[in-house]
Structure 1
C-alpha cells in the first residue's frame, strides 16, 4: 500500500511547495517504506510514498499518463489490472509498465470516471486532468482506503491521513463538536465528516471533483439489497458463492509475486480465507498469525492452532497481555490519525506489527459478518421481530430486563448479561438504529449532559444517524432485518472495521486484503434472500456450507466469539494512571468540550467497580489523547522527514 498528499498550487512547485509536500508526506511515511517522489503538474503538487507490490521499478508515483495530460497518486491495488491492460492493448494503447497505476490513469483518459465500473480492487486515488484543470478524489465502493480533503485559499488539499492534511498551512485544526457527538455514539467519524471542522472524507463509493473553484460529489456505487428470488436453490447459491469466494481469494494471492499471510483468529471467516489461500498459494505453506490473550475470556488461539494444523500453514502465535496493549495506547494514540473507539484496533495493531516481520501483506476475514448476517445482533433482530409480532414492546422490555437482572455481572468478551442489556436498549428504536444504540459508548440522549453547555448548544437538532438515513433513502419494502444490515454496512463496516484494518496494518506498512469484500462477491450476496445468510438463528449459512469440506467440523459450527480487547480490566489496571491523567479536570478544561463532573462520575464508577463504563471511558480517552496530541503538534515545529523519504524530499522539509 501507499500514502499520498497533494494540493492546488498556483506557485509553480517552488521551494515552499516542495517543503509543504515534504512535511505532509512525512506524516504518512509509515504507509510506504520503498521510497517517495513528488511532482508539480500544471497547478497541482502531488507527493507519494510507496509500498510496492506490482512493477516497483517502472511504476513510481506520481505517475503521468503517456500523453502527460493526467497525473495520479494512488493507494491500493487493482486486482484485475492484467485483464484491463489487455483491453488497453486491444484498443491500441502501448503500456509502458506492468503496473495497475498505469492501467488506472490510461483508462481514465479513455473512459473518464466511467472507468470506475470496470475496477475490481481497493483504492483511493487523486488525479489531476490538465485538459480540464479538474482534480478528482475517489474511493472504492467499500471504502477500504482512506482519503481526506479540505478547501484552501488556492483550491483544495488532500491526503491519505488526517494527520498529513493538517500539516498543510491552510488546513483547519478545530475539532467539530457535532462530529465528536457522532463519534461518541458511533465509535468513529462517519464519512463525509471528520474530527476537524472543515475537513471531509470522501465517502466510500464516491468521488469528489474540484474544478474552477466548484466541488461536486458523485456516488458511483451504493450497497443494494435486492432480496433475490424466494426460491433460490440452496445448492446453486452455494456453488455460485463458493466460486466467487475462491476467485476473490485467488485474485488477491496471485496479483502479486510477493508471499501473503493470513490473520487467523480461529473463527469461521478467517479460517475459510486461510483454507483457500493455502490451496492456491504458489509459494508453499501460507504464514498465518493469531493473537493469544492472557485473559482466557478473549483467547481464541487454541482454535486458530487447530485450523492451522488442519490446513498445514506456517503458524505464528503473537502473545498479548495488558502491558503490550497499554504500550500501543501510550506510544501511538496521542499521534493517531483520527480517534477510533473500537478497542479491537489494539490487538490488530500488535498482530500486524508481528506479521510485518515476515510478510508485506496479509488476508483477513473482514466483511463476512456484515454481509452474511453473522453477528449475534442479527440473530437478536430476527428474534425481536418474532416477539414484537405477538406482544407489545414494553412487555418484551420487561422480559429482557428481568433476564438481565438474574445474570451475574462480568466483564468478559460479550457476556450474555451485556448482550441482553444491549438488546433491551434498542427495542423501541428504528431497526436501522438498534445496532448502534446497542453498542454505543453513549446514547444520543446522554450527550447534552456530557458536553459543556457552550459545546452542547451546537448539538441542537443534530442527528448522529444522518448518514444511515441517507443510505436508506428510496429503499421502500425492506424488512427490519434488511434495514439493520444496510445500516451496519454503511457505517460500522466502512467507517469502523475498515478504518481499524487500514490503520492496524499501515502503521507497520502491512497491506491487508479482504476477500469477502470483493465487489463481485458483495453484489452476489446482496442479491440473495436473507434466509440463505441467516437460516433460523444460524448466521453465515452459505459460508458454513461452503467451508464444511475445508475445515474442522468444530470450526464450521462455532459460535462467533469476536476479536476484542479486555478493555474493562485494562482501564482499571495498566491504563489506570493514563486514564486518570488524560481525563483529569485540568486536561478536559484545555479541550473545552466535556463536562468535568460528568466524566468524573464515569471514572469513579468504573475504577471503583460500581458499574462497567469502559465503553464510554475508552471513547473519551481515545479522543482526548488525540486532541492533546493535536494541541501539542500546533505548538511544536514539524519534525524532519524520516529516512523513508527520498533525499530530495528530506531536503525540501
Structure 2
C-alpha cells in the first residue's frame, strides 16, 4: 500500500479525477483517473464480473460500443458504460487474442488469477507508455519511469550503454530506457509474467507493400471513409467536449474540418501557438482555417521566457530525457487547452503515414539519381551542392532537406533519416563521451536493431519505403508520440491522433508509394480529399513544422542554465561527457561561429534529468481502496 501511494503520487498529474487501489491474489494495482466514459461507476482498478481478472487501463478503447454489443449478444450483463469493463470481460473470454480486435490508444496491466499470469500490453502505435522491471517475486510496472523508480526494489542506475542511441534518436527507444534494467513494452507487444518467466510477444507490426492496384479516385474515397471514421471514433466515444490542436497546416486542419462537421451548430475549440519569430509562427494560418471552419479559436502566445520557464521548472524532474524541442510549445499549448477541454485531437502521424516530410522527397530524389549515376559520382555532386545551399534554423526548404540527407548518402536508406538529422552521429557521439562512457556505449546494443527487426520479412521495399518504416519505428513512436503524451498528460490533457487509427494506418501502408508521394508532392491522397473542406492555400501550402526557436533560446533566456549545467567541473563530476568537447560546442554557439543548438539541447536535456533524477519524491496520495478487493 505504501509503495503504491508513492508510485502513484509521481503520476498524479495524469489523472485528477480520483485515485484507487486494490490487491488481487498477490498483485497490487493502483490507478489515478482521467475519466471520459461513465465517471460515476467506472473506477479502476476494475475487476471482472467473475472475479478472476483485475485490470488497469491508461488510454481509450474507441471501438468499445461495438465490442459492448457483442458481449451483450453473448448474454453478458455489463455493470458500467466504461471501455475498461468491456476490455476485461473480453479478455476473460478470449485472452490476449482480444488485442487483435482493439481500436484505440492504450497501455494496460492485468492479473489473471486463473493462470496466475500478469499481462502488460501496449497499443500498436505506442501512444501510451508502459515501463517495467524485474523485482524480487515478479515485476513492477508504471506509466512513467519516475513512478517506477519509487518502487524500493527498482534499479536506479542510469544506463551509459544507451547514451549513443539517445544522441542519435533524441530519445531512449523501446524496449530500452535511460535506466539499466528498466524496459518499455514495445508498441504492438504484450509481456506475460508467470511462474517467474517473462515472455514478450508481438501482436502487430507495420508492414509496407503494394496491395492490389486501385484507381486514384477509389483510393481517395476509401481513404476519406476511413479518415472520417477515425475522427468520429475519437469524438463520439465520449460525451466530453474535445478540442483540436490546430497548427494551420494541412494535417491538423483536416482533423479540425471533420471534427467540426461532426459537431454542427456547436463550434469545436481549436488551439494554436503564436511566436514572434516568423520562421516559427503559423498562428495566422491557424486563424484563417478557424474562420473558414467556424471553430472557437484560441491563440496561445509563446515567448522565449515561457519556453525557458518550462525547461527550468520541469526538465530536472522529467520522466526520461527527450531531446525534441517542440515538446516546449506543445506543453504550453496543452496547458492552455486544458483550461477549456480535457481532450484534444491532433494531426500527428499524417507525415509518417503519407510521406509528408521533405526527407521523403529528398530520398525519392536520391533514389532517382542513383539510377542515373553511380553512388560515388552522386556523392561528389551532392557534396558540391551542400557547400552552396543556404542554412536555415526555422522552416526547412526541400533543398535543405536534401542537404541534410546527403550527409547519410553512404548509409542504408533506413539509416539516412537519422544519420542526417541526429544531434550526433554515432562517430560524433563516440568522440564526445569520456573513455569509460564510450566503452559502455560501444558494448551496448545496436541503436538500429529495432529498425532491422521491423524490416525482416519485408523484402523488395524501395529506398523510400525503407526510410518510411524507419521513421515510423523510432521518430514517430519514441519521439513524436512521447512528446504529445508527455506534453498533454502533464496537464491531464488526453491527446488523440486520428491519422494513427489502426484501420487507416493499415490501409495507408498497403497503398503504392505513388498515391502518397506523387512526384515530389507528399500526402497526395489527403490533399485530394481535403480540397473539399479547406481553402486551397491551406491544402497546398508548404509545411512549416511545429518547432521552437532553439538557437536563440540557448543564446538568450537559457544561457545561464546552459552554462551552469554544462560547466566543465559539473561534466567532469558526472563522468559521461568530455568537458573540453562540450566547451567547444558551447563557445561556438554562444559566439555565433556556428549553430550547435541541437547538439547542446540534447546534452542539456540529458544532464538536467541526470542530476535531477534523485529529486525529492512527491507527497504520497490518499488512495481509496476499491470495494471489489479480492480475498
TM-score by length of 1: 0.94
Q: Is the 8 A contact 2:21 2:624 kept in 1?
A: no
> What is the aligned partner in structure 2 of residue 401 from structure 1?
383
> What is the aligned partner in structure 1 of residue 161 from structure 2?
178
Q: For residue 296 of structure 1, give the secondary structure of its aligned residue in structure 2.
A: coil
Confirm whether residue 640 of structure 1 aligns to residue 622 of structure 2: no
Superposed CA deviations along residues 352-371 of structure 1, whole A, max 9, x for unmatched, are 00000000000000000000
Q: Is the 8 A contact 2:362 2:402 kept in 1?
A: no
Among residues 54, 59, 64, which one is paired with 1:71 in the alignment? Answer: 54
> What is the aligned partner in structure 2 of residue 332 from structure 1?
314
Q: Is the 8 A contact 2:144 2:319 kept in 1?
A: yes
In 2, the alpha carbon distance for the partners of 1:586 and 1:574 equals: 22
Among residues 128, 134, 154, which one is paired with 2:137 in the alignment? Answer: 154
C-alpha displacement of 1:416: 6.3
In 1, the alpha carbon distance for the partners of 2:50 and 2:499 equals: 37
C-alpha displacement of 1:591: 2.2
> What is the aligned partner in structure 2 of residue 372 from structure 1?
354
Provide structure 1 residue ranges, at least 5 long, that are not aligned to the other structure: 1-17
Q: For residue 396 of structure 2, give the secondary structure of its aligned residue in structure 1.
A: coil
Among residues 520, 527, 539, which one is paired with 1:544 in the alignment? Answer: 527
Q: Is the 8 A contact 1:409 1:417 kept in 2?
A: no
Task: Show the 5 A alignment for 1:446-485.
Answer: 446-460=428-442, 462-485=445-468
C-alpha displacement of 1:479: 1.0
Q: For residue 460 of structure 1, give the secondary structure of its aligned residue in structure 2.
A: helix
Q: Is the 8 A contact 2:358 2:398 kept in 1?
A: no
Provide structure 2 residue ranges, at least 5 long, that are not aligned to the other structure: 627-631
Among residues 383, 386, 411, which one is paired with 2:393 in the alignment? Answer: 411
> What is the aligned partner in structure 2 of residue 14 from structure 1?
none
Q: For residue 74 of structure 1, give the secondary structure of its aligned residue in structure 2.
A: strand
Instruction: Number of aligned residue pairs: give it.
Output: 625
Task: Show the 5 A alignment for 1:54-453.
Answer: 54-229=37-212, 231-281=213-263, 284-414=266-396, 418-453=400-435
In 2, the alpha carbon distance for the partners of 1:459 and 1:569 equals: 31
> What is the aligned partner in structure 2 of residue 4 from structure 1?
none
Task: Show the 5 A alignment for 1:15-34.
Answer: 18-34=1-17
Confirm whether residue 627 of structure 1 aligns to residue 606 of structure 2: no
Q: For residue 338 of structure 1, give the secondary structure of its aligned residue in structure 2.
A: coil
Q: Is the 8 A contact 1:253 1:281 kept in 2?
A: no
Superposed CA deviations along residues 451-475 of structure 1, whole A, max 9, x for unmatched, are 1101111223542111111111121
C-alpha displacement of 1:392: 2.5
Q: For residue 577 of structure 1, give the secondary structure of its aligned residue in structure 2.
A: helix
Q: For residue 93 of structure 1, give the secondary structure of its aligned residue in structure 2.
A: coil
> What is the aligned partner in structure 1 of residue 473 from structure 2?
490
Q: Is the 8 A contact 2:243 2:341 kept in 1?
A: yes
In 2, the alpha carbon distance for the partners of 1:460 and 1:356 equals: 43
Which sits farther off after the overlay, 390-399 or 122-131? Answer: 390-399
Superposed CA deviations along residues 482-515 of structure 1, whole A, max 9, x for unmatched, are 1111111111111110000100100000000000
List structure 1 runs of 4+ shifted beyond 3 angstroms.
407-410, 415-418, 645-649
Q: For residue 279 of structure 2, give the secondary structure of its aligned residue in structure 1.
A: helix
Superposed CA deviations along residues 556-610 of structure 1, whole A, max 9, x for unmatched, are 0011111110111111111111011111122213322111111111111111111
Q: Is the 8 A contact 1:259 1:283 kept in 2?
A: no
C-alpha displacement of 1:118: 1.2
In 1, the alpha carbon distance for the partners of 2:397 and 2:224 equals: 33
C-alpha displacement of 1:393: 2.5
C-alpha displacement of 1:418: 4.6
Cα distance 1:340–1:376, how it changes in 2: closer, same or farther (>3 A)?
same
Superposed CA deviations along residues 68-91 of structure 1, whole A, max 9, x for unmatched, are 110001001111111111111111
Q: Is the 8 A contact 1:148 1:162 kept in 2?
A: yes
Q: Is the 8 A contact 1:268 1:555 kept in 2?
A: yes
RMSD: 1.4
TM-score by length of 2: 0.97
In 1, the alpha carbon distance for the partners of 2:449 and 2:494 equals: 32
In 2, the alpha carbon distance for the partners of 1:76 and 1:416 equals: 37
Cα distance 1:295–1:156, how it changes in 2: closer, same or farther (>3 A)?
same
Q: Is the 8 A contact 2:22 2:625 kept in 1?
A: no
Q: Is the 8 A contact 2:162 2:441 kept in 1?
A: no
Cα distance 1:283–1:144, how it changes in 2: closer, same or farther (>3 A)?
farther
